[in-house]
Amino acid sequence: MRRCSRLAAALALLLGCGAAPGRADGPSAGTLTERVVCREKPDQAYALYVPEAAGAGRAAPILYLLDARGRALLPIERFRAAADSFGWILASSYNSRSDTKDDPNTPALQAMWRDTHARLSLDPPRAYVGGFSGGARAAAALAAQAPREIAGVVACGAGLPDGASPRGFPVPWFGTCGDRDFNYLEMRALDAALEKAKAPHRTAFFEGGHDWPPPDVAARAVAWLELEAMRSGARPKDDAVAVRLLADEVAAAASLENAGDPAGACRRYAEAAEDFRGLADTGPAAARAEALGRSDAVRRSLREAARRDDRDRAELRRLADRLRAAAKDPEIPPAATLAAALGIPGLRARAAGGSPEERLSAERLLANLRVETGFYLPEEMLARGDAAHARLMLEVAVEIDPDEPRVYYNLASAEARSGRTQRALRELDRAVAKGFRQFDRLEEDPDFARLREDPGFRRWLAAARGPGAPAAGP
């Protein structure tokens, strides 16, 4: 991430100068343009949504979006309703990426920034950056380097870049995270650290895994940034909007209380009281938060959550140590043996039963093991030419998700990169047996580039596609 920060310094200089003045000759209001090619950088493209409220020459806020896999339309789908409500333009890159050796996100934001400023009428103090996973870390790094140009961050599924401190983070930060996300504990800890540092922030958790937030949470993020803009003077205060948004927050808190989640309700009431202070009457919300905070149920729930977090962090450290030891051990055990030592069978059983809190705890631990054994560790080992240990880790991922076609595809990918054609085909057979049908992906994935030259693979692919399927490639 140090590389990202260096490039972000260049971004700060570029965003502050040289962009053409915004003009209203771009796409019509109320339209989604699925692909816009940047005029100055034709190798860069983005999806663009201009809501109806951004028409008539109005200088509109803009949210730039960086998906971890360049799926430009996905975050627009999640933020579109919020954009309609508040008149925000959305620009989402096809070139953003996570977990790459280089930094694609700085040039992606640079290109979108200059192109949108040339095409559209934008509100200069109100440009925001949002990202998912590695894109979230990139968004935070870019905002930290260019706080005069970037007004706020929406960080989804990941927190600050490596080495960054919550103390003194220069722009408002809204984080989102699924309750089964492998970064859940990180986001909980970061929320507490930002609170301690008195940095303007909010974190919203939702039911789900490692993903962009659902539309209602996306709308909450945009609404919160609207409040921050009112507070800073970046937009005029609007009493009617503030009263409406406060009513929505109080209703959400009351819904949590009625659903038997007094701790969640207490947090939501307290956040509403803080967020709307000076903008609307927060007395009732503050009083309800104080009353709930004194209750035995809330105090007990908070203690149990803190104990569970501490326990799970300790367990993650143990799992990481065990995996690292196995990665260095010249004696490669059967995957089932390592899986048992990691406690995977017990975690799978706990995820299938027990209390809701314990199920979620187990699912988060499994999610961490899944991403480590299914991606990060194998990539590290393949990069150093250690195919045997990479295969061990991927076989452990199979022990976690034996019915998931993707784990067998990943095994096939590792074998193909190592030049083991027959082993790769065997793993592809297992993937197909579990439901894999994305055969076009095999024609594009660079991991299979060498395999695609093999006549045996071409025959396998034709047979796997089935009778009558169009032939693919030579």
| C-alpha–C-alpha distance, residues 375 and 384, integer Å | 15
Task: Give the Cβ contact number of residue 455 at 10 Å.
Answer: 8
pLDDT per position as a tens digit, 145-178: 999 999 999 999 999 998 888 998 999 999 999 9
Q: What local confidence, expressed as pLDDT, does residue 17 receive?
A: 43
Comparing CA positions, the residue from 249, 13, 348 lying closest to residue 149 is 13
- The residue assigned the tokens 């809501």 is 51
Please give the pLDDT value at position 277.
95
4, pLDDT greater than 50: no
Question: Per-residue pLDDT for 24 more than 50?
Answer: no
pLDDT band at 472; cut points 50, 70, 90: very low
Looking at every residue in the chain, the average pLDDT score rounds to 91
pLDDT band of residue 1 (cuts 50, 70, 90) is very low
Task: Choose the CATH number for 334-465 among 3.30.70.100, 3.40.50.11890, 1.25.40.10, 1.10.357.10.
Answer: 1.25.40.10
Q: Say how many C-beta atoms besides its own lie within 10 A of residue 239's C-beta.
A: 10
pLDDT in tens, 40-67: 999 999 999 999 988 666 899 999 999 9
- 13 has pLDDT over 90: no
Q: Model confidence at 11, in pLDDT bands (50, 70, 90)?
A: low
Q: What CA–CA distances, in Å, run from 164 to 137, 201, 257, 347, 423?
A: 10, 15, 36, 32, 42
Are 204 and 187 in contact by the 8 Å Cβ rule? The answer is no
Which option is the CATH number for 2-236: 1.20.120.1770, 3.40.50.1820, 3.20.20.70, 2.60.40.10?
3.40.50.1820
Contacts (Cβ under 8 Å, ≥6 apart) of 428: 408, 409, 412, 436, 442, 460, 464
Looking at the predicted structure, is the pLDDT value of residue 437 above 90? yes
The pLDDT, as a whole number, for residue 30 is 81
Residue-wise pLDDT for 317-376, tens only, equals 999 999 999 999 999 999 999 999 999 999 999 999 989 999 999 999 999 999 999 999
Comparing 42 with 16, the larger pLDDT belongs to 42
> How far is CA 19 from each of CA 14, 54, 111, 116, rounded to the nearest angstrom?
8, 20, 10, 9
Query: Strand, helix or coil at 35?
Result: strand
Structure tokens of 334?
């059967």
For position 29, what pLDDT does the model report? Answer: 77
Cα–Cα distance measured from residue 414 to residue 423, given in angstroms and rounded to the nearest whole number: 10
Give residue limits of the domains in the chain.
2-236, 334-465
Three-class SS of residue 18? coil
Position 22 scores a pLDDT of 46
The count of other CB atoms within 10 Å of the CB of residue 394 is 26
Q: Is the pLDDT of residue 412 over 60?
A: yes
Confidence of residue 124 (pLDDT cuts 50, 70, 90): confident
Q: 25 falls in which pLDDT band (50, 70, 90)?
A: low
Task: Check whether 222 has a pLDDT greater than 70.
Answer: yes
**303 has a pLDDT exceeding 80:** yes
β-bridge pairing 45-50 and 89-93:
antiparallel
- pLDDT, one tens digit per residue, over 233-292 is 999 999 999 999 999 999 999 999 999 999 999 999 999 999 999 999 999 999 999 999
Going 89 to 95 to 100 to 102, the CA torsion angle's sign is negative
- DSSP per-residue string spanning 165-200: -STT--S-EEEEEETT-TTHHHHHHHHHHHHHTT-S
Q: Distance between CA 462 and CA 467 in Å, rounded?
A: 8
Alpha helix positions (H), 130-282: 134-145, 184-196, 215-232, 239-258, 262-275
Whole-number pLDDT of residue 474: 32
> What percent of the chain is predicted at pLDDT more than 90?
87
Look at residue 19 in the predicted model and tell me its pLDDT.
44
Confidence band (pLDDT; 50, 70, 90) for 26?
A: low
pLDDT at position 334: 95
Sign, CA torsion 78/79/80/81:
positive
The answer to whether residue 114 scores a pLDDT higher than 90 is yes
- Give the angle 376-381-386 at the CA atoms, nearest 5°: 160
Q: What is the sign of the dihedral through the CA atoms of 244, 246, 252 and 258?
A: negative
| 249, 275 Cβ separation under 8 angstroms | yes
Whether residue 15 is predicted with pLDDT greater than 80 in this model: the reply is no
pLDDT at 413: 94
Contact assessment for residue 190 and residue 161, using Cβ atoms and an 8 Å cutoff: no
pLDDT tens column, 96-108: 999 888 899 999 9
Distances in Å between the Cα of 317 and the Cα atoms of 43, 335, 375 are 42, 20, 18
Tell me the C-alpha to C-alpha distance, in Å, between residue 388 and each of 230, 326, 402, 405, 408. Answer: 57, 11, 20, 21, 16
> How far is Cα 125 from Cα 148, in angstroms, rounded to an integer?
8
Q: Lowest mean pLDDT: which of 21-35, 38-52, 420-434? A: 21-35
Q: What is the mean pLDDT of residues 388-401?
A: 96
Helix (H, G, I), strand (E, B) or coil at 40: coil
Distance CA 275, CA 358 (A): 32
Contact 394, 426 (CB under 8 A): no
Kindly report, residue by residue over 304-316, the tens digit of the pLDDT: 999 999 999 999 9
pTM metric for this prediction: 0.91
pLDDT of residue 162: 86
pLDDT value of position 164: 86
Q: Which helix (H) or strand (E) holds 37?
A: strand 31-37
Distance, CA of 157 to CA of 211 (rounded, Å): 6
